[in-house]
Amino acid sequence: MGHIIKVFKESMLSIASYVVASVDVIKEYQIEEFIKILLDSYSRGSKVIVVGAGRSGLIGRAFAMRLMHLGFNVYVLGDTIVPSLRPNDLMIAISGSGRTKLVITVAEAAKSVGAKVIALTTYINSPLAKIADMIVEVPGRTKISEQNDYYLRQLMGIYEPLAPLGTLFEVTTMVMLDAVVAELMVRLGKTEEDLKKLHANIEI
How far, in Å, CA of 203 to CA of 199, rounded? 10
> Percentages helix, strand, coil for the chain, rounded to the nearest 5?
55, 15, 30
CA distances from 186 to 26, 77, 98, 181, 183 (A): 20, 27, 31, 9, 5
Measure the CA–CA gap between 94 and 202, rounded to whole angstroms. Answer: 30
- Which of 32, 33, 137, 170 is catalytic? The answer is 170
192 is catalytic: no
Residue 99 half-sphere exposure, CB side, CA atoms within 13 Å? 8
| Pairing label, strands 73-76, 90-94 | unpaired
Which residues have a catalytic role annotated? 170
